[in-house]
């Protein structure tokens, strides 16, 4: 299937919003040196939210390489000049063991005040990372190096219709499905 002109316009609008959101993080990455510049990609539910003209809950960035992911994690965890960019826990979460510093830094990710989540536990090529996702609608991805937003017609349609189609059964949980259903999503039904 091919995209209509209206769909193409929505996709390009989503891509522009992603580029805008990543501007500050791109500056940080450039400061770290050339090996970091092409070290990450954005994927997950944010892209679908943008297509539906909704504000994303978070913007998931994954890294191609574990050394770089660990380096980024250490930068935000230990460098005081970067710690002011890290989100802080709401007061009700202060007694969570991982929240001793008040910073939202876990073994899985670093959450920035901008809403960007730097996923540092899992890394690799986009196809590998995306194969672990529970739902197909979460699988579009953006490569800031090539400035390409990769999205299939199926992923687009599922996002627009807010339909849940399982991608990886072993990653699927009822709790997460119910979270989507509470937000108006329905199960994908083959016709």
What tens digit of pLDDT does each residue of 175-186 get? 999 999 999 999
pLDDT band at 123 (very low <50, low <70, confident <90, very high): very high
Is the pLDDT score of 92 beyond 70?
A: no
Distance, CA of 85 to CA of 47 (rounded, Å): 23
Q: What is the pLDDT of residue 116?
A: 96
Is the pLDDT score of 93 beyond 70?
A: no
pLDDT band at 101 (very low <50, low <70, confident <90, very high): low
Q: What does each C-alpha distance from 6 to 11, 48, 51, 122 come to in angstroms?
A: 9, 15, 11, 35
Query: Which has the minimum average pLDDT: 43-47, 96-100, 127-131?
Result: 96-100
Q: What is the pLDDT of residue 190?
A: 81
Q: What is the pLDDT of residue 107?
A: 86
**Residue 187 main-chain phi, psi, to 5 deg:** -75, 140
Is the pLDDT score of 16 beyond 60?
A: yes
Q: What is the pLDDT of residue 97?
A: 55
Average model confidence (pLDDT) across the chain: 92
* Helix and strand counts by DSSP (H, E) for the chain: 8, 8
Distance, CA of 56 to CA of 46 (rounded, Å): 5
């Amino acid at each position: 299937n091919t995209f209509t002109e209206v769909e193409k316009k929505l996709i390009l609008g989503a891509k522009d919003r992603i580029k805008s959101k990543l501007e500050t993080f791109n500056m940080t990455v450039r400061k770290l040196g050339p090996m970091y510049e092409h070290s990450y990609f954005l994927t997950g539910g944010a892209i679908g939210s943008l297509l539906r003209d909704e504000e994303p809950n978070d913007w998931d960035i994954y890294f191609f390489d574990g050394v770089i992911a660990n380096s980024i994690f250490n930068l935000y965890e230990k460098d005081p000049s970067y710690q002011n960019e890290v989100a802080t826990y709401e007061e009700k979460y202060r007694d969570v063991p991982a929240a001793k510093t008040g910073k939202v830094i876990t073994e899985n990710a670093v959450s920035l005040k901008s809403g960007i989540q730097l996923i540092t536990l899992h890394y690799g090529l986009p196809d590998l990372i995306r194969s672990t996702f529970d739902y197909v609608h979460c699988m579009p991805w953006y490569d800031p190096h090539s400035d390409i937003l990769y999205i299939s017609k199926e992923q687009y349609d599922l996002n627009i219709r807010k339909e849940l189609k399982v991608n990886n059964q072993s990653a699927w949980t009822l709790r997460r499905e119910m979270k989507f259903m509470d937000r108006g999503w329905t199960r994908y039904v083959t016709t």
